[in-house]
Structure 1
Amino acid sequence: MAQAACPASCGEIIQGWILGGEKLVSCPVAWYSHVEVTTGTPLANERPLTRAMLRQLLAHWQLPASLSSTLRIDCHSTIPVAKGMASSTADIAATAVAAARHLNQSLDEKTLAQLCVALEPTDSTLFSGLTLFDHNTAATRIPCGALPPTEILLLESPLTLTTADYHRMARQQALLDNAEILDSAWQMLQRACAQKDAALLGEAATLSAMASQTLLPKPAFTTLLNLVEQFGLYGLNVAHSGSVVGLFLDSARHDVGAVCRFLAKRELAAHWPKNYLLKMVAGGVKEG
């Protein structure tokens, strides 16, 4: 038996046309998918992508494909699905690491990323640090540096959008039109990590969120920006291919209760009926 856990993501800190192609930096938060791989009969209701990952791993390690039918995958996750929170990445990355441990095989982050991308566009939450990542090909993975200490008030919308649906959208021209803004956001994010500056991190995320409005607009976005300004928050980010929004803050400095009351009394409540105060984490799949 072996266990592993991978964090969810509150959308992306930045996503768009960066360094010659579409890339992202996920926003990992302390909300996890926990996976256990054991010897046993596969469950009838397991998540299909976890089994697909296991089959890929067996082929990668040149182990018999028949071994798949002797392995059971238990996935325990409350991460909302199809809202831009990297629920699938968390499931399949944790499955891969748990399976590697159970079968006494090696699996580095580079190989893990390549295997995940072979199944679907993948978030950079699987890396043990904020990472600029080509989520479609895994060809680019550039570490951003240290994580500024930040919390996130995650706003959950009832709206859903699958990753596949997002990638079927005509996005190329909008991505190219916003390339200069995303380059600025990328440079700012690197400075934020180098200086461990949460305000700069929030500013970079806000820039990317504003650019994303031309692709997948969030409702009441101007009101959200006004909220950030009124309460002196660090900034906001969005799920560029989903519906969640994150407010960057520090609960020791900012009045989270007052922010929640603002959300409850305004038209925002209809769009964002649920919220969760979460710690931002560096990312990476953990064993055990």
Structure 2
Amino acid sequence: MTAATRPPRTAARTRQGTGRAACHHGEILQGVFLDERRRPVHALVTLPVDGPGSTARFTQHPGASPDEVTVVPAGRDKARTAAVLALRECAAHHGPEPYGGELTLTGNLPIGLGMGSSTSDVIATVRAVADSCGVLLPPVTIARIAVRAEGASDPLMHGARPLLFAQREGRVLETLGSALPPAVVVGCALGGGAPVDTLSLPTRPYDDDLAAYAHLRRMLRRAVTDADTALLGRVSTASARLRQRVLRHEEFPALTRIADRTGAAGVQIAHSGNVAGLLYDPRTPGLRHRLRRCARALAAEGITPTRTFTTAASPTTEEYTWTNTSRKPSAART
């Protein structure tokens, strides 16, 4: 798909644009998978969450070079890079000549927890720049720009569909279906909610894990097809266990104990951060009681509950507020 030019707008509106992007709640599955050419590729399936996100506003300054972009607040270097790349991309299409300008970012995403905060900033930025140029950029183009700006990217530009996404290449390896199985997720923050420097994490050879990840990929494909929440939980828990060889969360054993005691389908973590969740089937008898027991058990273990949300239409659940909303620079996803 290629970019398209929107119908002409008034001159006053062609110089300003807005964009928004959602976040996610870590991953259901992340590892190394064989692509269509049988090459091992790092890829992931994210757990979407409505609500928090980034909003960008880009105002072009006539006469400014496309490389002259300032960002408010300062320090959002990835978003600034994305704005410059987006301006260059838009210049190749039939819109008015793009100029540099000012990018303003707002949002309520915690940084460094593994919720895709930097990707949300970048995608919102690209959409705002394109909007200011009167150009519609397709998701594949936004993904390419995001990877160039960040080094790796989450698949937020593609919406909430469950995708196996090669985060370092910005491409979809497999569309698993239209939606994840229904689940109620009790979110929490591990490590005291401290950000994780992804680049400081050790790397591991994945050759021995290829068969395990291929099996989990097949299981997740079946879970999505059958809307099987129990199988979804098995996949996310197995993936989280594999990732513990790198992250080594001290609270992970407590998470799995609480999941077992409260009848959760499984646990999930951000594979490059400290956000985690316990997944429940919304059809489980006594769900609200189980959710309250879960929140109390987490607090008793010194783990902060953050937010309860759903992957699909299901009973409304109590929501918590984010407890770590600091905006500290985060490293690229591994």
Output the TM-score relative to the length of structure 1. Answer: 0.86
Which residue is equivalent to 1:178?
A: 209
Which residue is equivalent to 1:73?
A: 103
Which residue is equivalent to 1:95?
A: 125
Moved more, 156-165 or 273-282: 273-282
Which of the residues 71, 82, 93 maps onto 1:53?
Answer: 82
Report if aligned partners of 1:73, 1:95 keep a CA contact under 8 Å in 2: yes
- CA radius of gyration, larger in: 2
* SS state at 2:153 partner: coil
Taking the aligned partners of 1:194 and 1:159, their CA distance within structure 2 comes to 36
Which of the residues 141, 160, 163 maps onto 1:131?
Answer: 163
Which residue is equivalent to 1:263?
A: 298
Taking the aligned partners of 1:184 and 1:87, their CA distance within structure 2 comes to 30
* SS state at 2:99 partner: helix
Which residue is equivalent to 2:32?
A: 17
Report if aligned partners of 1:9, 1:85 keep a CA contact under 8 Å in 2: yes
Report the AA paired with residue 257 of structure 1.
Answer: R
Report the AA paired with residue 308 of structure 2.
Answer: L
* SS state at 1:15 partner: strand
Identity of aligned residues (%): 26
Taking the aligned partners of 2:149 and 2:198, their CA distance within structure 1 comes to 12
Report if aligned partners of 1:9, 1:26 keep a CA contact under 8 Å in 2: yes
Instruction: Please tell me whether residue 232 in structure 1 is matched to residue 232 in structure 2.
Output: no
Report if aligned partners of 2:19, 2:125 keep a CA contact under 8 Å in 1: yes
* SS state at 1:240 partner: coil
Output the TM-score relative to the length of structure 2. Answer: 0.75
Report the AA paired with residue 153 of structure 1.
Answer: V
Report the AA paired with residue 20 of structure 2.
Answer: A
Root mean square deviation of aligned Cα: 2.4
Report the AA paired with residue 224 of structure 1.
Answer: L
Taking the aligned partners of 1:44 and 1:99, their CA distance within structure 2 comes to 15
Taking the aligned partners of 1:280 and 1:159, their CA distance within structure 2 comes to 25
Taking the aligned partners of 1:188 and 1:202, their CA distance within structure 2 comes to 10
| Higher percent of residues as helix | 1
Which residue is equivalent to 1:188?
A: 219
> What is the deviation of 1:170?
2.3
Taking the aligned partners of 2:169 and 2:218, their CA distance within structure 1 comes to 22
Report the AA paired with residue 73 of structure 2.
Answer: N
Which residue is equivalent to 1:36?
A: 57
Report if aligned partners of 1:130, 1:145 keep a CA contact under 8 Å in 2: yes
Report the AA paired with residue 277 of structure 2.
Answer: G
Q: Which runs of 5+ in 2 are unaligned?
A: 1-15, 35-39, 62-68, 314-334
Report if aligned partners of 1:124, 1:130 keep a CA contact under 8 Å in 2: no
Moved more, 243-252 or 253-262: 243-252
* Greater relative contact order (Cα < 8 A, sep 6+): 1
How many corresponding residue pairs? 272
Moved more, 44-53 or 89-98: 44-53
Deviation track 1:229-280 (CA, whole Å, cap 9, x = no partner) reads: 1111121111111111111125674221111111112xx31xx224211233
Report if aligned partners of 1:4, 1:35 keep a CA contact under 8 Å in 2: yes
Q: Which runs of 5+ in 1 are unaligned?
A: 283-288
Which residue is equivalent to 1:285?
A: none
Which of the residues 159, 173, 176 maps onto 2:194?
Answer: 159
Moved more, 144-153 or 42-51: 42-51
